[in-house]
């Protein structure tokens, strides 16, 4: 809990001092990714802050951060969508090749 408490302290200071420098922290857009064994402690420490706490992962600026399982599931979902899109495009191409 020591490192999590330090991160929370840093966040609180950032929320106070950030606006002095033109930075507006947005808790609703902030995600704290922790190891699963620290998840409950992190949720307790950051309770009420508005920060989303997860032990899985999150997509950030097009990259996936988190556990191997989370990254694998994300990639599988992306590939499945690409397959559906290509199949749909090939169906269109059969009837109207110029549109595809």
Give the residue-averaged pLDDT of 39-46.
96
Pairing state between β 52-54 and 31-33: parallel
Q: How far is CA 6 from CA 11, 14, 26, 64, 93, in A?
A: 9, 12, 19, 25, 57
The answer to whether the predicted template modeling score (pTM) of the entire model surpasses 0.85 is: no
Q: How far is CA 2 from CA 9, 33, 38, 39, 89, in A?
A: 11, 16, 11, 14, 53
Q: In this predicted model, what pLDDT tens digit does every residue of 11-42 receive, in sequence order?
A: 999 999 999 999 999 999 999 999 999 999 99
Query: Is residue 85 pLDDT above 80, yes or no?
Result: yes
Asked if 41 and 1 count as a contact pair (C-beta separation under 8 A), the reply is yes
Closest by alpha carbon to 27, among 57, 47, 56?
A: 47
pLDDT band at 65 (very low <50, low <70, confident <90, very high): confident
Q: Cβ–Cβ contacts within 10 Å for residue 46, how many? A: 20
């Amino acid at each position: 809990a020591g490192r999590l408490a330090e991160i929370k302290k840093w966040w609180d200071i950032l929320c106070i001092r950030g606006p002095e420098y033109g930075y507006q922290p947005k808790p609703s857009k902030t995600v704290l990714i922790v190891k699963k064994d620290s998840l409950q402690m992190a949720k307790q420490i950051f309770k009420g802050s508005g920060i989303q706490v997860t032990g899985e992962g999150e997509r950030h600026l097009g990259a996936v951060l988190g556990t191997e399982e989370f990254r694998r599931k994300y990639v599988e979902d992306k590939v499945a969508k690409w397959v559906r899109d290509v199949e749909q495009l090939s169906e269109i191409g059969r009837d109207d090749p110029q549109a595809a």
